[in-house]
A and B are shown apart, each in its own frame.
Chain A
């Protein structure tokens, strides 16, 4: 846990005093990622560097796990925190392996153990240890260097990480990948992380909480969904962007907005059974599943088969679209637009049918917070932790394809 109380930093410069951080108070709970977000020069880096005392604060208090950081010797304090600097800062005279081993060596970890750890960590940031361990930083691309920087910060397994734009130099595609990898890692490691970014999308994706800064002042400190749904002032509203509600789509997993336990039939079933089941559930359509592997293969619409005879297989139409239960709602909405439908079948990794999702269910879910203000849709623990995010709506949703 990192606690800031009224933290202030005033730089004395020849052209006068600059208040870089102005009475900032907030708390990063144990095991969470807090994103410091804001335009260039708003004091993100300064705030972060006061935590590991690279910059001494002018006023206020900072506590790490309840202990005042001023009571520590700075060197000891820093060794308990992984640090990723904005400029990457790999040591060019050392190999990738030696770079990662710096802190373990400082704290006296046996070499063999540190070496093993270096290889492990490199794998974790998706670089092949066989290829990269013995390379020098100048032999890596910017993005690869940044990954090594992250691995280096994790080397001594510190409980606290402070990272200054750790993925800034990575191209968008690889950035998504490494963000996902990092979140997966964090799900196991549960570090307390302070993470600087100036990218709202990254903040929404990575953050358990977002701290938005402007000119040294903390404008809003909330969960991502709250920041997006209820910006506290016009600055935050503008900063998060006019499409802020669309951004919220990323925060919810399909599985959490899906209507589970939807009825289905098999191709061999008689069409009468399908009609009966649709009436029973009050649905206007029903999914046809392959009996062997439970994958959805088609759809039957009530309006077209009410008087029909024969098997379900004969009357099945093309399935309008499907989406993975672990995908986010943005993916689902995109798929709906692509397929020109308001309904999608939800499947798991084996392609098995899990339920369906409708546009109305999504709108309803996103609108919830406006009907009950002061509550974000996404509860405390994030989807990356593998926990259920919210109670899905109960009861049938009669929103099948028109």
Chain B
């Protein structure tokens, strides 16, 4: 579920890509061009990651509890319909979400964060909901039969056993998020998109790459970070990576 691409594949794409790019950039004198913009890159990358952190953080803070809420037996019936709705929601292109957000909230950081938040919310809610739903019925029955309250069961059995799937949702969400942030520049959100889109507009390859390469690196680093957190927080007994 989620995250079908293993990290090692990402790494390879990155290494091979960087190598080819480096060889080509060297010949074109692009490396000097990129390094010349170092200060801009650092400033915009920080802005970029702020957008990711705020919108992604809010998506986790809202998405996980929402997924849990929907997984409660009392909500089951409603949850199914809502999930259908959310699934339709995921098919809306993020660019359209940004445009809609701008229509209602205007230009600037707030509408950008809002759009990014919406885009990352869906995978988190869905994976939390499904992760909990997929906890084997026998575990629930054992927990209940031993005298756990619903809250104790959620905390001690359902969440720990769903955690791996929840993290997969967070990984997907943040991957979408980091990749969408450049578009946020279009509605005045800032970030590395500024270099990419300006570079494209001015037909300046160096400027464009100065935005694109750091964006790619940040995406890989973010994914690596979440994977690492998952690896060390998911209980060893249900963690496919711990043996």
Contact = CB atoms under 8 A, between A and B. Distances in A.
Given A93-B238, A94-B237, A137-B237, A106 B146 contact: yes
Contacts of B139: 89, 91-92
Interface stretch (A22-30, A63-71, A74-82): A74-82
A152 B139 CA distance: 14
Contact of A103 (B146, B160, B238): B146
A46 to B, nearest CB: 13
Contacts of A94: 160, 235, 237
Interface string A26-57: 00000000000000000000000100101000
Contacts of B157: 91, 93
A265 to B, nearest CB: 62
Interface string B138-165: 1101111111110010001100110000
A362 interface: no
A212 interface: no
A170 interface: no
B237 A136 contact: yes
B76 interface: no
A83 interface: yes
Most buried by B among A52, A75, A77, A88: A75
Contact of B145 (A54, A88, A90, A106): A54
A78 B145 contact: yes
A85 B141 contact: yes
Nearest to B145: A83
Interface residues of A, number: 26
B7 interface: no
Contacts of A52: 145
A54 B144 contact: yes
B236 interface: yes
Interface residues of B, number: 21
Interface string A100-121: 0011001000000000000000
Contacts of A78: 144-147
Contacts of B144: 54, 78
Contacts of B156: 91, 102
Given A54-B141, A83-B142, A85-B142, A103 B237 contact: no
Interface string A133-172: 0001110000000000000100000000000000000000
B147 A136 contact: no
A137 B145 CA distance: 19
A106 to B, nearest CB: 6
B100 to A, nearest CB: 40
A91 B142 contact: yes
A137 to B, nearest CB: 7
Given A54-B144, A91-B156, A93-B161, 6 more contacts: A49-B145, A75-B149, A77-B147, A87-B136, A89-B139, A137-B237
8 nearest interchain CB pairs?
A89-B142, A136-B237, A79-B147, A78-B147, A93-B160, A87-B138, A93-B235, A83-B145
22 contacts: A49-B145, A75-B147, A76-B147, A77-B147, A78-B145, A79-B147, A83-B142, A83-B145, A85-B138, A85-B142, A87-B138, A89-B136, A91-B143, A91-B160, A92-B161, A94-B235, A102-B146, A102-B148, A103-B146, A103-B147, A136-B236, A136-B237
